[in-house]
Structure 1
Amino acid sequence: MNPFEDMRLFCQVMESGSFTAAADQLGLSKQFVSRRLMQLEERLGVRLLNRSTRRLDVTPLGQSYYESALRLLSEVEQMEQGIAGQTTEPRGTIRLSAPLSFAVAHLGCLLPVFLQRYRDVTVEVDLSDRPVDLLGEGYDLALRIGVLEDSTLIARRLASIERVYCASPAYLAERGTPHKPEDLHTHDCLPYGHGRQVQWRFEGRGKSLNVNVTGRMRVNNGELLKDAAIAGMGITYLPTFIVGSALKDGRLVTVLDDFRPEPLTLSAVYPQHRQSSRPVQALIEFLRERLNQREEGSHYR
C-alpha cells in the first residue's frame, strides 16, 4: 500500500466532491477509489469522510489529514521536479478559467506569447463569466475580477481594472449629460447582469452613493452593452478593457468622471496544491509582467 497514492486519491476526492468525479479525473473506477479510501480509514483508525447517498462531508480529522496531505504532496512534487530538472523549465497542462470579455480582449494576444516562451506547457482555456468551482471542476487556475470570497484558495493580484460610465455623443446630445449620480433617474441605462433591480455605486466628495438604474436592455455580457451604448441606447458602466477603443475613437465618451469608484482588482486564484506547480506559477508571473507593462495605458491603473 503506497501512502502517497492514498493521499493523492483522498485529495482528489476532496477536490472533486464525489467518488465518481474523482474516479473520472483519475481514470479509475468508482469502486476502486471507494475501496482504497475505506482501506485508508481502516489503516488510520479514523473516519475521514461521512458518506450519504447525496454527498460527502469531511470530518474534522479528515480536514486535518487533507491539509497535511496537500503540504506533503506539494513537497514531493517540488522534489521530483527538481530531480527531473523541471525547476527552470515548466512542463505540463494548465486548465484555466477566465472571464469572457477580458479573455477576448487580452488573452488572445498574451497566451501565444506565453506558449512560445514555454514550449513544454499546454493551456486549456474555459471562457465564462460565472464563478467556477476550481476544486470541484478540476481547474488549476482562474482569473477573477472584483472582490474575492473568503476561501481556502490562494489569490495573487495581477492588475487594477478601471471602470467608466459612458455613452455615445448622439445619446448625450438628445438626452443631456448627467452631472451627478441622481441625474441617472431620468436616463436610460444599460446595466450589466440580471435582476429586478440594479444599483450602480458612486464615490465622490468623501462618501459613497448607490443609485438604482433602469433601462430597456440588460445583459450579462459587456461587449453587447458596449455595442448598445455606441448605438445610442443609453449610459453604461463597463471596464476600460471593453470600451477603451470606443472611447479612443470617439464612439463613446465618459460621464460622471468625478464619481467613479475605485478600480477593481484582477486576481489569479488557484488551489493550495497548485502552489508549487511550475506551469501555473510561470503563467501567473507572465501575466503580472505583461499586464503591469500596461499600467500607464488606458486599460490599467
Structure 2
Amino acid sequence: MSSRFSDIEVFVRVVETGSFALAAAQLHLSPSAVSKTIARIEERLGLPLAIRSTRKLRLTAEGEDFYARGKAIVSEVQMLERTVRERAGQVAGTLRVSCNIPFGLHRISPLVPEFLAAYPGIQLDLQLSDAPADLIRDGIDIAIRTGVLADSTIRARRLDASARHVVAAPAYLARHGMPAQPADLLAHNCLTLGFNRNYGKWPFRIAQEGVMTELDLAVRGNLMVDNGESLRRFALAGVGVARLSEFHIGADIAQGRLVPLLEGFNPGDREPVSLIYSDQAHLSARIRAFVDFIAARL
C-alpha cells in the first residue's frame, strides 16, 4: 500500500526537476515507478495533473494547485524531521556540494578531511565541475562558484575575493621575452577560457594624458579551454600567458613556477567567491554545519 505523502513527494520532485528520470535518480526509484506513482495520484483524484510529451512536462491548472500545496506539505514534514534530528544533536545524512574545479582543488579539497572528522555522520558528495549547477534540478545542497552571480534572487554567502594576475612560466618568458606594457601582449600567445568571451578581454590601468584609465585589452592566442585548472597547467607548461586568480596560482608564484607580469598596470579587480544554496526558510543541520565550517576557514 502506497503512502500518500510519498506520492506527493514524488510528484513535487518530478515538477521541480522537470523530468521523470531525474526525479527517479534523486529518489532512488526506477522511472517506471515514478510514472506509476503519478498515474496513481491522477487515478485517485480522477483528473490529469500534467500533460506529458517526450521533451517536457506541462502542468494543468489542477496540477499547479496540487504542486503548490504539495510542496508546502513536503517542506513542512522535512522541517519537522530536521527539527527533531537537530534537537537530538544529529548532524547526519548525504550532503551534495558542487564546486568549480580550481577553487575545489586548491581551497575546498584540503579542508574535506577535517570536515569529515568533525562530522562523521555526514556522507559528502563533492562534485567538481565548471559547468553551471541548478540546485533543484541536480539535487545540489550547496554550490561554490567564483565570479559575479548572475541570479540575484538566490541565497548566497560571500567567502572570499581573490586578486587576479597575468602570469607566464619562466620557460615561456625565456623564449618570448617579458612584456613591458599591456599592448605588448598582442604579440604574445594569450590563453583564455573558451566558454565566456569576456575572458578574452583583460583589464589594465594605464596613464593617458596624465590620467589613469582602465583599458580592456582584447588578447588572442592559439588555445582556449573550458576550465581554469587546465588554463593553469598549460601556463605552467610554457604554452602561453594566462590571467588567473591568486587563490589558484598563489603557490605557483611563491615557488617561481609562474611569474606575474605587468603588475604596475594591474587594475586591482578581485574575483568574488560565493557559497550558494537553495532558498530554504530553515537550513538543515548538515548544510548549516558545512556553511559555517567553510566560512570560518576562508
With the shorter chain as reference, the TM-score category is: 0.7 to 0.9
Structure 1 residue aligned with 2:254, among 248, 271, 281?
248
Q: Find the aligned partners of 1:60 and 1:268 in 2 and give their Cα distance.
A: 36
Identical positions, percent: 37
Say whether the 8 Å CA contact 2:79–2:282 is kept in structure 1.
no
CA-CA distance at 1:114 after TM superposition? 0.7
d(CA) in 2 for partners of 1:207, 1:41: 64
CA distance 1:108–1:31, shift in 2 (3 Å): closer
**Distance of 1:145 and 1:45 partners within structure 2:** 48
Q: Give 2:242's aligned residue.
A: 236
CA distance in 1, matches of 2:204, 2:47: 54
Secondary structure of the residue aligned to 1:272 is coil
Instruction: Give the letter for the 1:165 counterpart.
Output: V
CA deviation after TM superposition for structure 1 residue 72, in Å: 4.2
Alignment of 1:277 with 2:284, yes or no, is yes
Q: After the TM superposition, which of the residue ranges 205-214 and 75-84 deviates more from structure 2?
A: 205-214
**Could you say which residue in structure 1 is the equivalent of 2:209?**
none
The alignment of Structure 1 onto Structure 2 pairs a total of residues equal to 291
Q: Tell me by how many angstroms 1:207 deviates.
A: 5.3
In 2, distance between residues paired with 1:56 and 1:152? 25
CA distance in structure 2 between the aligned counterparts of 1:208 and 1:57, rounded to whole angstroms: 49
Is 1:166 the counterpart of 2:167? The answer is yes
5+ long unaligned stretches in structure 1: 292-301
Whether the 8 Å CA contact 1:71–1:273 is kept in 2: the answer is: no
For 1:279, give the aligned amino acid: R
How far 1:66 sits from its partner (Å)?
Answer: 4.3
Q: Pairwise mapping of residues 257-276 of structure 1 onto structure 2 (< 5 A)?
A: 257=263, 258-260=265-267, 262-272=269-279, 276=283
2:58 matches 1:57: yes
Residues 109-148 of structure 1: pairs in structure 2 closer than 5 A = 109-148=110-149
Deviations 1:215-241, CA, capped at 9 Å, x for gaps = 233333434433433444332111222
CA distance in 1, matches of 2:187, 2:169: 16
Q: Provide TM-score, normalisation by structure 2.
A: 0.80
User: Please, what TM-score do these two structures have when normalized by structure 1?
Assistant: 0.80
The residue identity in structure 2 corresponding to 1:25 is Q
In 2, Cα distance between equivalents of 1:54 and 1:226: 39
Q: Note closer, same or farther for the CA distance 1:208–1:272 as it changes in structure 2 (3 Å cut).
A: same
Partners of 1:170 and 1:249 in 2: CA distance: 14
Quote the residue 1:287 is aligned against: 294
Q: Superposition pairs for residues 131-210 of structure 1, below 5 Å?
A: 131-150=132-151, 153-172=154-173, 175-193=176-194, 199-204=200-205, 208-210=214-216
Q: Matched residue of 2:34: which SS?
A: helix
Counterpart of 1:283, as a letter, is F
* Letter matched to residue 212 of structure 1: A
Contact 1:90 1:120 in 2 (8 A): yes
Please tell me whether the aligned partners of residues 97 and 142 of structure 2 are also in contact (alpha carbons under 8 angstroms).
Answer: yes
Task: Return 78-87 or 7-16, whichever deviates more.
Answer: 78-87
Alpha-carbon RMSD: 3.3
Quick check: 1:79 aligned with 2:86?
Answer: no
